[in-house]
Structure 1
Amino acid sequence: MFTTHPAAVAALTAMSAIGAGDRDAWLACYAPDAVLHDPVGGSPLDPHGAGLRGRAALERFWELTVAPSQVRFEVAAVHPAGAEAAVVASVSARFATGARVGYDGVFVYRVDDDGRIVSLRAYWDLSRVLSALAG
């Protein structure tokens, strides 16, 4: 999908880095004080739903959720506006345990003036992923 909108470029680059398992490329997409709500509303890594803030938190997120899995995004649409882009995508994930899950989500990325992600708000069904991991 071709786009020149800074938020859309950052979003698609970050998603591509996840699919490639490229931690350094993914981290390079983010500003040092970025906030990650993945998913919005909280998770075992973010029990209060305040978001994961800063480089160390992003690195921990990668190590605990992305590194032990294979994640692929099938992007259906990208809606850029202002400093943000909303990405509608289907996600498929295979975990180190062999568990697999698929879900749809909306991922809202906000970038700074340098085109680095300052905020990701991901909307998807956490219970579906937790059920797959438990089962």
Structure 2
Amino acid sequence: RNIGPNSISVDVHDTFTGGNEVAHVMTLTTTFPAGHRASVKGVFTYALNDQGKIQRLRGYWDMSDIKLGS
């Protein structure tokens, strides 16, 4: 419920592909209604099915790397 109505920006730093799988190194930043922001850099992986739809999505980051600000 906390993240749903918030805006999210994605900054992709690097992309790796192999077959039907993709890994992105990226920073996600969300802005809350009061203007506060939280961002984290991580690795996010996707696997697509034969129809090209996302079948699996995973994200990896260190909670201590989350940056909070306004």
In the TM superposition, residue 97 of structure 1 has moved relative to its aligned partner by: 3.8
Q: What's the counterpart of residue 115 of structure 1?
A: 52
State how far apart, in whole Å, the 1-side matches of 2:38 and 2:3 are: 14
In the TM superposition, residue 92 of structure 1 has moved relative to its aligned partner by: 1.4
Find the residue that maps to 1:73 and give its secondary structure.
strand
Question: 1:46-83: CA deviations, max 9, x gaps?
Answer: xxxxxxxxxxxxxxxxxx25432111011111101122
Q: What's the counterpart of residue 88 of structure 1?
A: 25
**Normalising to structure 2: TM-score of the pair?**
0.78
Q: Give the count of matched residue pairs.
A: 67
Higher normalized strand content (fraction of residues):
2
The one-letter code sitting in structure 2 at the alignment partner of 1:121 is: R
User: Against the structure 1 CA distance between its residues 80 and 65, is the aligned structure 2 distance closer, same or farther, given a 3 Å change threshold?
Assistant: farther
The one-letter code sitting in structure 1 at the alignment partner of 2:35 is: G
In the TM superposition, residue 122 of structure 1 has moved relative to its aligned partner by: 0.6
Long gaps (5+) in structure 1: 1-63
Higher normalized helix content (fraction of residues):
1
Find the residue that maps to 1:106 and give its secondary structure.
strand
Q: What's the counterpart of residue 103 of structure 1?
A: 40
RMSD over aligned CA atoms reads: 1.9
Long gaps (5+) in structure 2: none
Find the residue that maps to 1:67 and give its secondary structure.
coil
1:26-45 matches, cutoff 5 A: none
The one-letter code sitting in structure 2 at the alignment partner of 1:69 is: N
